[in-house]
Amino acid sequence: MKRILVLFALFAVAAGYAQTVEKQTFVYAVKQTDTLRLDRYVALTPDSRTKPCLMFVFGGGFVGGRRDNASFLSYFEYYARKGYVVVSIDYRLGMKKAMQAGTLSEETFPEAWITTLAMATGDLYDATAYVCDHASAWGVDKTRIVASGSSAGAITVLMGEYGICNGHPLAQQKLPQDFNYAGVISYAGAIFDTQEELRWAKTPAPMMLFHGDADRNVPYDAVLYDGNGFFGSKHIADMLTERRIPHWFYSVANTNHVMATRPMYDNRYEIDAFLEKLVLKREPLVIDTYVTPLEAPELPKAFTLSDYIDANYGK
């Protein structure tokens, strides 16, 4: 009997990976000269039940990147076969336009940055609204939409959740009433605010925050300058812990910006656990994982606004 059960389990796993994943592309918005598209990935199965949705926002410093980068395909197909409708979106690259207008500096950066974040976050909201509008036809459960993103995309999904929780006009204008994401997964992201501390008017969705403590592209902790704050995963996690808000913080010592992509391939077990426990089952958990690669060399940890500008945009 035990052997039969094992064989049945192996057959079920093999059948899951044998499922064909269908990709379809849709235009979700046209904004001046920008036509914004999204790709929907879904496993072709006879299951008629509504599915959770995993949205993804690519990285690239708000100057580059593609929603259909081939390196993301295994991530998309894996979660499609796990029963998610996966949606990867375009968004406007505001810093690309800012750089075309001239060299960035600490003086010119804040205005360009605020405009860039508003563009990206607004596009995320429009894509989310598009998914909600098509939820019935696509078999999506609108109460189980998870936003994930890498680097600039991680900043975008965190800013999206931050805007929802604080009643940002873009969120109120573009999203269905009382909408919130069921969860947020950030691969090396951060939140920007025009004040020196985070504020949460409403309790945020469960978050999973991956980050290396020697990241030179996105702050691991907090960077304060001229009354503004750029708050990385460590700072966000500390505040969530203090407020007893469910989240999972996954920190890797002496590790750089590779955490913007590596977890999508190396940490699927942890991501699956987060989705199952904190998102779908709504278990009230705070999980902190600190990993120390013993052979990794000691890397500098200090981070300033100039470091961010230099690493992402040069002088």
Residue 5 lies in a domain: no
Domain that holds residue 110: 21-313
Residue 103 lies in a domain: yes
Asked whether the beta carbons of 291 and 253 are under 8 A apart, the reply is yes
3-state secondary structure of 286: strand
- Mean pLDDT (whole number) for 204-228: 95
Residue 9 lies in a domain: no
What is the number of domains present in the chain?
A: 1
- Containing 199, the helix (H) or strand (E) segment is none
Residue 14 lies in a domain: no
Q: Please determine, for residue 186, whether its predicted confidence score (pLDDT) is greater than 60.
A: yes
- Mean pLDDT (whole number) for 12-21: 61
Q: What CATH number has the domain bearing residue 276?
A: 3.40.50.1820
Kindly tell me the sign of the dihedral angle through the C-alpha atoms of 256, 260, 263, 265: negative
Residue 133 lies in a domain: yes
pLDDT digits (tens, 9 = 90+) for 253-301: 999 999 999 999 999 999 999 999 999 999 999 999 999 999 999 999 9
Residue 10 lies in a domain: no
Residue 1 lies in a domain: no
Q: Which of 110, 199, 117, 102 is nearest to 155 (CA)?
A: 117
Q: Please determine, for residue 87, whether its predicted confidence score (pLDDT) is greater than 70.
A: yes
25-34, 38-47, 89-98, 301-310 — most confident range: 25-34
Residue 2 lies in a domain: no
Q: Tell me how crowded residue 261 is: count the other CB atoms within 10 A of its CB.
A: 19
User: Which pTM value belongs to this model?
Assistant: 0.92
The two three-digit tokens of residue 248, written as one number: 């999972």
